[in-house]
Amino acid sequence: MSPNVELLELALRDEARARDPWQRPEQVIEWLALRGEETVVDLGAGTGYFSYRIARALPRGKVLAVEPDAELRALIQAQARHHQLPIQVEAQAPAAAERVFACNMLRHLNLGQGPECDHWVVIDFDPERAPELAEVPPRAHLQTIAQVEAQLPGHRRVITRALPRQYYLELSRQA
């Protein structure tokens, strides 16, 4: 059975209301500086919070939303269809990617097990600054920037920015 799009919209609006003030999605999309023709892998897409926003910035490209949870995949698929967004939903990551976006994923996956990719964007909770709230993983699960870098040997950090609770990192493969 396909999900009820109106109920999904309400749930996504609630998520946005709670999350936008600290996640700052518009700022993140600006930082991504997309050309508009890329294929961006949203690794661990969840509800698609960023997949939709990235897809809207890709008039000639697409988002590959990778999400192992079947219900979440159905949710993203329904939203993508309803809003005619260029999103392809997959249960598994491809072997290689042009660009990977990984937000709030570090407690699920070591990035070294992700796709081969020259350019990564990683957003996650900064153990130095994240408050102890229900939506923040326990401190023991948070990774420092140095721990993220260690997961992607051969890449170097080219951009570091700060969101209210999180770091935003861009890592590129060294020439």
Closer to ligand SAM by CB, 43 or 61: give it: 43
Q: How far is the CB of 175 from ligand SAM (least distance, A)?
A: 28
Smaller CB distance to ligand SAM: residue 155 or 163?
A: 163
Q: Rounded CA gap, 99 and 155, in Å?
A: 13
Residue 23 CB, shortest distance to ligand SAM, in Å, is 8
Q: What is the DSSP string of 88-143?
A: EEESS--SEESEEEEES-TTT--GGGS-EESEEEEEEE-TTT----TTSPPGGG--
Rounded least distance, CB 123 to ligand SAM, Å: 7
How far apart are CB 36 and ligand SAM at their closest, in Å?
22
The DSSP line for 61-90 is SEEEEE-S-HHHHHHHHHHHHHHT--EEEE
Which residues make up the interface to ligand SAM (CB under 6 A)? 43-47, 49-50, 66-69, 72, 103-105, 108-109
- 61 or 106: CB nearest ligand SAM: 106
Question: Please, which residue, 96 or 156, has the CB nearer to ligand SAM?
Answer: 96
Q: Is the Cβ of residue 46 or residue 61 nearer to ligand SAM in the bound state?
A: 46
User: Residues 6 or more apart from 7 whose CB is under 8 A from it?
Assistant: none
CB contact set of 132 (below 8 Å; sequence gap of 6+): 139
Tokens of residue 133, six digits: 């709230």
Q: How far is the CB of 58 from ligand SAM (least distance, A)?
A: 17
Nearest residue to ligand SAM, using CB?
Answer: 46
